[in-house]
């Protein structure tokens, strides 16, 4: 069978390869609030290749968002909360921002960019 994370050979009747099992364990050992640096350091300590770590971070085998997007969403919400700004970013929002950036679009929740002060009157009516 193929690994559900990296799509490499996992073994007979196995869904996850040994490297991805180690990567998953390294994630589970992290404290509830960890930095991306802590995540990467823990993963690199497993001995997995950089390519394998990238595949693991981008995998979405359970349709709950990739680990990279989940961590980015959590960290975004923590930063915004620290600034006193409410935020409900989830993995879908992070995925949309990544998609927009890859297509050369600026991530925005508004259809139209405000370029002149006169547009602010209309902007406040939308809110």
- pLDDT of 26 strictly over 60: yes
Predicted confidence at residue 16, as pLDDT, reads 96
pLDDT over 90 percentage in the chain: 62
Predicted confidence at residue 41, as pLDDT, reads 96
CB 2 within 8 A of CB 8: yes
Query: According to DSSP H, which parts of 45-90 are helical?
Result: 50-58, 67-82
- Which pLDDT tens digit goes with each residue over 63-113? 999 999 999 999 999 999 999 988 889 999 899 888 888 888 876 655 556
Where is pLDDT greater, at 12 or 114?
A: 12
- pLDDT of 3 strictly over 70: yes
If phi > 0 it is left, if psi is from -120 to 50 it is alpha, else beta; for residue 34 that is beta
Where is pLDDT greater, at 35 or 112?
A: 35
Query: Which residue, among 26, 62, 15, 47, has the nearest Cα to 7 in the 3D structure?
Result: 15
* pTM for this model (two decimals): 0.76
Predicted confidence at residue 33, as pLDDT, reads 85
Domain ranges for the chain, please list them. 1-58, 63-127
């Amino acid at each position: 069978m193929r690994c559900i994370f990296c799509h490499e050979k996992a073994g007979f009747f196995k869904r996850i390869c040994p490297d991805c099992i180690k990567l998953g364990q390294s994630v589970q050992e992290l404290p509830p609030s960890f930095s991306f640096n802590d995540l990467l350091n823990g993963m690199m300590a497993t001995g997995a290749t950089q390519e394998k770590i990238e595949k693991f971070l981008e995998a979405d085998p359970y349709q709950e968002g990739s680990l990279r997007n989940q961590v980015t969403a959590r960290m975004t919400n923590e930063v915004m909360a620290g600034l006193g700004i409410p935020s409900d970013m989830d993995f879908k929002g992070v995925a949309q921002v990544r998609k927009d950036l890859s297509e050369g679009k600026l991530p925005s929740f508004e259809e139209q960019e405000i370029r002149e002060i006169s547009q602010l009157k209309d902007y406040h009516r939308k809110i």
